[in-house]
Amino acid sequence: MAPETTTQGRAALFSPYKMGKFNLSHRVVLAPMTRCRALNWIPQPAMAEYYAQRSTPGGFLISEGTLISPTAPGFPHVPGIYSEEQVAAWRKIVDAVHAKGSLIFCQLWHVGRASHPVYQPGGAPPISSTTKPISARWRILLPDGSYGVYPEPRALKSYEIPDIVQHYRQAAVNAIRAGFDGIEIHGAHGYLIDQFLKDGINDRTDEYGGSSLENRCRFLMQVVKAVVSAIGADRVAVRISPAIDHLDAMDSNPLRLGLAVVERLNRLQQEVGSKLTYLHVTQPRYTAYGQTESGRPGSEEEEAHLMRNLRKAYQGTFMCSGGFTRELAIEAVAQGDADLVSFGRLYISNPDLVLRLEVNAPLNKYNRKTFYTQDPVVGYTDYPFLNKESGPKSLSRL
């Protein structure tokens, strides 16, 4: 028996997994991906087809980053979950996914300073942990398709933070009302929560900042606790990317930061007597600028060391994401480096990715040019299936 196979001779990647109270039939997950197909922050019918196409019996999907409040957006045409209209629109999408036998979590998102007055109510500056703007190395996609410079944000006053925490809590409640099986808190990739976690951004002097890890983790942990108390720990997941410096989210010691978050999540799990659904960590190799614990772009070996340390320390289901191929995912699960692997770009271009990976079929190439465009079909739901029959049944009733 090859080391990566189960007793039935299947790679463990394609074997069942008990993710808390949820029974999965395989370990291949749809990674959360912003696709800009909503309108006026409201999910659209094409999204039901997109997610249903990527659903499998016993599979698990994570929604695109979904806005918790009107100050949360930093991309055009992304969906929210703070109004009744948004909840009703999401319900149709969730129903389409459930009809195909998959589970789906809603990723709760606030971009913080990665925004622009054009996206903010009243044209206000975006909010953050800091007044430092994102450097000119990065550009923001504007509603007309052009790219702009990130503006100077407004640092939140400490007394304003409980309101933001409350927005996450309400968004989680709304997600459950829309039928989602749970939520993932987006604490990664340089967005609002990461702007508090990373010492390369957070220059506050109050109880949410400074060199103290306790202070930098405070906002994330307040959000986690608020959401857990509202919908239960077994429906809550957290995503972090301690070693990814997307949007200048640098930390002087990514491993120490990651372990600090893990330690606090472990403690919370003990306190509430229930595990979170999973911890989702993005591999540094996803971006060219990925860091290692030494704070510099590093080797594959250093990256594996960082991921393995977080995996070993976290007492619960561990999901990895970033640059996975079929072979790397099979190996990661077989070696116990991950319980679940989320796929991003390959899942965009291969709606039946799970089948293709299982039978080792060729993969469709993705087209970056249509990642963030608005056409409800082109580059969205028109990637071909391996077998015509495995395509979705008509969703015209939705």
Q: Does 322 bind ligand FMN (CB under 6 A)?
A: yes
In the complex, the smallest distance separating the C-beta of residue 185 from ligand FMN, rounded to whole angstroms, is: 10
Q: Does 102 bind ligand FMN (CB under 6 A)?
A: no
Residue of 256, 248, 269, 139 whose CA lies nearest to 202: 248
Q: Does 326 bind ligand FMN (CB under 6 A)?
A: no
Residue 228 vs 346, nearer CB to ligand FMN: 346
Q: Does 64 bind ligand FMN (CB under 6 A)?
A: yes
DSSP letter for each residue of 146-215: -EEPPPPPEEPPGGGHHHHHHHHHHHHHHHHHTT-SEEEEEE-TTSHHHHHH-TTT----STT-SS-HHH
Residue owning tokens 């002097």: 205
Per CB under 6 A, the list member of 119, 219, 286, 314 interacting with ligand FMN is: 286
Residue 209 vs 258, nearer CB to ligand FMN: 258
Residues 6+ apart with CB under 8 A from 208: 129, 158, 161, 196, 202, 215, 216, 218, 219
Q: Yes or no: say if 184 and 239 are a contact pair by the CB < 8 Å rule.
A: yes
Residue 141: both structure tokens together = 């996609």
Query: Which of helix, strand or coil describes residue 258?
Result: helix
Whether 347 sits among the annotated catalytic residues: the reply is no
Residue 313: both structure tokens together = 């320390």
Give me the catalytic one of 191, 286, 347, 380: 191
Q: Does 370 bind ligand FMN (CB under 6 A)?
A: no
Residue 180 vs 286, nearer CB to ligand FMN: 286
Per CB under 6 A, the list member of 61, 188, 250, 259 interacting with ligand FMN is: 188
Residues 6+ apart with CB under 8 A from 76: 36, 119, 141, 142, 143, 372, 374
Q: Does 74 bind ligand FMN (CB under 6 A)?
A: no
Q: Does 344 bind ligand FMN (CB under 6 A)?
A: yes
Pairwise CA distance, residues 124 & 213, whole Å? 30
Residue 94 vs 346, nearer CB to ligand FMN: 346
Q: Does 31 bind ligand FMN (CB under 6 A)?
A: yes
In the complex, the smallest distance separating the C-beta of residue 181 from ligand FMN, rounded to whole angstroms, is: 17
In the complex, the smallest distance separating the C-beta of residue 354 from ligand FMN, rounded to whole angstroms, is: 14
- The 10 Å Cβ neighbour count of residue 163 is 10
Residue 183: both structure tokens together = 């939520």
Pairwise CA distance, residues 232 & 182, whole Å? 9
Q: Does 190 bind ligand FMN (CB under 6 A)?
A: no
Listed ranges 161-169, 206-214, 293-301, 343-351: which one lies at the site for ligand FMN (CB under 6 A): 343-351
Residues that bind ligand FMN (CB under 6 A): 31-34, 64-65, 107, 186, 188-189, 239, 282, 286, 321-324, 343-346, 371
Would you please indicate which residues are annotated as catalytic (active-site) residues? 191
